[in-house]
Amino acid sequence: MNDLTINLEIHSSIPLYEQIYKYIKNEIQNGGLPFGERLPSTRKLAKYLQVSRTTVDMAYEQLVSEGYIEALPYKGYFVCELDGLYRLMPVQNQVKRFREEPKEIFTYDFSPNGIDLDSFPQNAWRRLSKTILQEENRKLFQLGDPQGEYELRLMLAQYLRQARGVETSPEQLVIGAGNDFLLLLLCSMFGTGQKIAMESPTYKKAYELFGNLSNELRVIEMDESGMRIDRLSDTDAQIAYVMPSHQFPLGTVMPVKRRMQLLEWAAGAADRYIIEDDYDSEFRYKGRPIPALQGYDRNDRVIYIGTFSRSIAPAIRVSYMVLPRRMLSLYQSRGRSISCTVSRVDQMLIAAFLNEGYYERHLNKMRAVYKGRHDVLLEALRPLRSICEIRGEHAGVHILLTFTNGMHEEEAVRLAAKQEVKVYGLSGYFVGAAGLRREDTVILGYANLSEAEIRSAVARLKTAWMPLNE
């Protein structure tokens, strides 16, 4: 037995030794620690839990005295065999055990949220981390600028101008721990009761976040060009949330004409804004990269949001927001009271990652990796084109399969699960009542699968979905 992970409540009225005792006792009663299991030594467990050895000794002594564990000389502590274990288990635990159903096991998971962690630039990241932490710079451990470190904002402004066509300065940038935090910050600046227009299907967390903060949501239909501006104009929306460069989950790219119509809508009233979520914009495998909508804006109405979660790793939790200049005074009065949620060490690390060219090299590598998997997936899916059509390809890290043989997405998901392959239904991303809720489409994300795994997984999907065609 290695270490026992016990969540100790330091400020609880229950002594620490009693918390340890109760945890181990419950684990033995519930079968989590079976008969004969060796417990960690008191010294090792005390070190792991960061408590005194006396505290662990007292817990073990109580367990020994009650007969739950026994101490064998020169060997350690072991779980005793208990007669009548069923009667010792709390009633609710007995019921829970009888009601538990076996979890589905998936060999392959086409998650649309996955990324390739094997390609993470660990050596460069470790080297930069060591350099930054070795510097005797006490300010890194003090509270920094609420907008984020100036060095990072400067690097970001240069990168966004060059790579995404975003017109910005460091003074317009705000750093935050994830897109959700930046949306929360925006809501605190605008105040509650805003009328926000969103596409359907869409990024559902944003939809729920806006709704939970007492905003009024207006769901707008989409067509092949994205959000329908004629339907948007028919509403009283003040803010439009869009993903013009690669809409999630449909993968739609908003053409220039529609973008101009959207910007014209925003300029039509003094209090209108566009929130541009530049989702997955880094990954495009055909043609030139699509510039950000913000770069076309001449009326200072676009709020641009991007993140490193997809291009580096989700755990980085660093996103950035470019505010229109007309909103800077609003940020000064309502936003700067909220401290930056990203540590200064992490910010300086990403600034160095950008400044020394590691980020650009990493992106180029990931584009090649994901394009390879994208191409392998499309080739492997060729036999399935007789029963479905493929959409959303050539960008991002997922595609959509729409069945043309009458198969419902629920059936497709169920049949795939029987082959231990997890796919995702599109209907879960629809919101509101606008537009047709398609229930004949599934999403296949390929970022976290190797090329060999993609081929094997698609072979199983063919078995699941085309048994009569074999």
Residues 6+ apart with CB under 8 A from 250: 201, 222, 391, 392, 400
Task: Average the pLDDT over 285-303 and give the result.
Answer: 91
Check residue 187 and give left, alpha or beta (phi > 0: left; psi -120 to 50: alpha).
alpha
pLDDT (mean) for 29-49: 88
Range from 187-196, 297-306, 427-436 carrying the lowest mean pLDDT: 427-436
Separation of alpha carbons 76 and 462, rounded Å: 54
The answer to which of 223-237, 241-255, 285-299, 451-465 has the lowest mean pLDDT is 285-299
List all residues 6 or more positions away from 61 whose beta carbon is below 8 Å from its beta carbon: none
pLDDT > 70: percent of the chain = 93
Strands 388-391 and 319-322: unpaired
pLDDT recorded at residue 119: 83
Which residue is it, tokens 């580096």?
312
Q: Are 403 and 440 in contact (CB under 8 A)?
A: yes
Mean pLDDT in residue range 11-30: 86
pLDDT class of 398 with cuts at 50, 70, 90: very high
- Taking only the tens place, the pLDDT of each residue in 120-178 is 888 888 899 888 887 766 777 778 899 999 999 999 999 999 999 999 999 999 999 99
Confidence of residue 465 (pLDDT cuts 50, 70, 90): very high
Residue that the structure tokens 């288990």 belong to: 89
In 3D space, the residue among 279, 280, 278, 261 whose CA is nearest the CA of residue 220 turns out to be 261
Q: pLDDT category, 342, cuts 50, 70, 90? A: very high
Res 99 pLDDT > 60: no
d(CA 261, CA 243): 15
> What average pLDDT score do residues 47-66 get?
86
Q: What is the pLDDT at residue 174?
A: 98
Question: By mean pLDDT, which of 80-84, 155-159, 333-337, 371-375 is the weakest?
Answer: 80-84
Query: Minimum mean pLDDT among 201-205, 258-262, 287-291, 421-425: which range?
Result: 287-291
User: 273 near 302, Cβ under 8 Å?
Assistant: yes
Q: Is the model's pLDDT at 463 over the cut of 90?
A: yes
Where is mean pLDDT largest: 45-49, 300-304, 431-435? 300-304
Cβ proximity of 443 and 110 under 8 Å: yes
Alpha helices in 218-313, H assignment, sequence order: 229-233, 256-266
Are the C-beta atoms of 278 and 245 separated by less than 8 Å?
A: yes
The answer to whether the beta carbons of residues 21 and 63 sit under 8 Å apart is yes
Strands 226-227 and 273-277: unpaired
Separation CA 173–CA 328 (nearest Å): 10
Lowest model confidence (mean pLDDT) among 59-63, 80-84, 188-192: 80-84
Token pair belonging to 97 = 């055990």
Q: Kindly indicate the confidence band of residue 89, based on its pLDDT and cuts at 50, 70 and 90.
A: very low
Phi and psi torsions of 167, nearest 5°: -90, 110
Q: What's the token pair of residue 441?
A: 């489409």
Confidence (pLDDT) at 438: 76
- Report which of 174, 159, 118, 225 is spatially closest to residue 335, judged by C-alpha positions: 174
Structure tokens at 38: 């060796």
DSSP symbol at 246: S
Tokens of residue 423, six digits: 């796919």
CA distance 258 to 242: 12
With a cut of 90, say whether residue 311 has pLDDT above it. Answer: no
The pLDDT, as a whole number, for residue 294 is 96
The average pLDDT across 308-334 equals: 91
Task: With cut-offs at 50, 70 and 90, classify the pLDDT of residue 105.
Answer: confident
- What are the structural domains of the chain? 16-98 (1.10.10.10), 108-118+361-465 (3.90.1150.10), 122-357 (3.40.640.10)
Specify the pTM. Answer: 0.76
Closest CA to 393 of 265, 280, 285: 285
The conformational region for residue 178 under phi > 0 = left, psi -120 to 50 = alpha, else beta, is left
- Tokens representing 367? 């584009």
CA-based R_g, the chain, Å: 27
The percentage of the chain sitting over the pLDDT mark of 90, rounded to a whole number, equals 62
**pLDDT value at residue 88:** 44
Q: Average pLDDT of the chain?
A: 89
SS3 for 424? strand
φ, ψ for residue 362 (rounded to 5)? -65, -45
Q: Please state, in angstroms and rounded to a whole number, the distance separating the CA atoms of residues 56 and 71.
A: 14
pLDDT of res. 72: 86
